[in-house]
A = this chain, B = another copy of it.
Amino acid sequence: MNAEQFRKQGKEAVDAIADYYENLDSMPPMSEVKPGYLYGLMPHEAPEDPEPFDDIQKDIKANIMPGITHWQSGNFFGWYPANSSFPAILGDMYSAMFNVVGFNWICSPAATELETVVMDWVGKLLGLDKRFRAIKDDCTEGSGGGIIQGSASEAHVSAMIAGREMMLAHLHALGMNDEEVDGVWHKFVAYFSDQTHSSGQKATNIIGCRSHSVPSDDNFRLTKKALLAAIEQDRHAGLIPFFVCGTFGTTNTAAIDDIPGIAEVAAANHMWFHVDAAYAGAALSCPEFRPLAQGIERADSFNFNPHKWMLTNFGCSALWVADSKHLVNALSIHRAYLPRVKGATSFAKDYHNWELPLGRSFRALKLWFVIRMYGASGIRAHIRKHVVSAKWLEEQLLADGRFEIVAPVEFSLVVFRIKPSALSDSPGADGEVANRANADLVKLINTDNRVFLVGTKVKGKDVLRAAIGSAHGNQENVELLFKVVTELTTTIISGRY
């Protein structure tokens, strides 16, 4: 395939993409295939000879498309939004064109430098504290800075590794020798709440430390009091707290942990404080949400995913550290074939020392496209539109009378359920009855498949989560969601399903 053929076929692909987005809402959001559907449709070996693009296009329509759950549909309300946008797709196309592997500055100076500059842009856009800047106002190098990683999971591990490094340095500073440090290595404990994203638990599996899942309060928040109690208990058992994750917008309910309280506890205990704002961090581009984020300025690291609710295709996870020292100490590797730039390090960061992998693609490009083609004003409008829709949905559900809202609607997530009292004439309706009804409502909605959402369980209750925020959805999609939910709730209450 030469460049001339690519001109033709690339343009066909562009049209296919545009067609897809124009027709998204006409397709059921959830795939309805059965496990193993594709195996029967495909040869079981690579073809010996080249096949034409036309055949692949046909197979995409006939075989791949039915197996797609359409995350970009306006009728997709599952998990959290995974925004795509045309500017981001264009950025990805240019990134695929250059296909540089940017582990070092000389691998492509533009890749390193654009990442540094754009991450400072985004930090300012969110109102992050100056501690997190790579380049200070006077154009000198800051001690912190941002990096684009592939996912919040990788950011979580990276932060935990930096935290372990900080604690090791602290123990050495207290006078422990290497052998003594070896002897306490297995006593390190990371803290998060029972509502923290699974990446917290997984990060402890990866680095091989202990984890303490602290019970959240009635509003699904990690509190200072509960964290202190957990730390006290562990210290009593001879363990060493070294890391805590506070979440700004948890996975289940978008709850906001007691960030200032956690910051205080972390500082008093020499612990690394990581803030996971994977979903809700995007809202900080609007100043009205910043009062919710007090205390973030005291974190050691802060992470959010532009690839969730900020119009940037997967994977684009933004991680900032206030001081890169411990992260870089823990992850630095030197080899003769990895030349380093002397001096001017603020502009020539060795980002491979800030992350788990060595190889890295030119991810800053798509983020740069998104920010420029939407502008700060466009990004804020995107966020606010969905928050308005979420508030509208909350009001409608309450006005209906049969639902309860399970968690405060601060952003664009609405967590709700059919009230037990709507299910039975007897006021003391059994909790399991309500749980079964709500779990069945999730199934009924997804079998109906005009809209898609997922259920979850919080504090023993089965609930529904409507995560609004598709870049291609609008108020009409949320109105359809409400219509489907209320219709099928009537079916549930009637018991005839």
Contacts and interface: CB of A to CB of B under 8 A. Distances in A.
Given A17-B10, A46-B376, A375-B48, A84 B99 contact: yes
A285 B254 CA distance: 48
Contact of A337 (B116, B251, B341, B347): B251
A39 B133 CA distance: 14
A315 interface: yes
A79 to B, nearest CB: 7
A99 B82 contact: yes
Given A31-B110, A157-B206, A207-B207, A15 B7 contact: yes
A344 interface: yes
Q: Which residue, A7, A20, A201, A359, has most C-beta atoms of chain B within 10 A?
A: A359
Contacts of A246: none
Interface stretch (A89-97, A268-276, A387-395, A400-408): A89-97
Contacts of A344: 34-36
A127 interface: no
Contacts of A96: 17, 84, 88-89, 92-93, 313
B205 A33 contact: no
B10 A372 contact: no
Interface stretch (A145-153, A215-223, A426-434, A484-492): A145-153
A117 B42 contact: yes
Nearest to A13: B93
Interface stretch (A66-74, A256-264, A473-481): A66-74
Contact of A154 (B10, B116, B357, B454): B357
Interface in A127-164: 135, 139, 150-154, 157, 161, 164
A183 to B, nearest CB: 8
A22 interface: yes
A131 to B, nearest CB: 17
Q: Interface of chain A, helix or strand or loop or mixed?
A: helix
A393 B14 CA distance: 41
B202 A331 contact: yes
A69 B106 contact: yes
Interface string A175-211: 0000000110110000000000111011001111100
A398 interface: no
A108 interface: yes
Given A16-B97, A117-B38, A49 B205 contact: no
Nearest to A106: B69
Contacts of A152: 358-359
Contacts of A449: none
A97 B64 CA distance: 13
A113 B150 contact: no
B46 A99 contact: no
A86 interface: yes
A421 interface: no
Contacts of A348: 35-36
Q: Which residue, A19, A83, A106, A369, has most C-beta atoms of chain B within 10 A?
A: A106
A170 interface: no
Given A13-B93, A117-B42, A151 B359 contact: yes
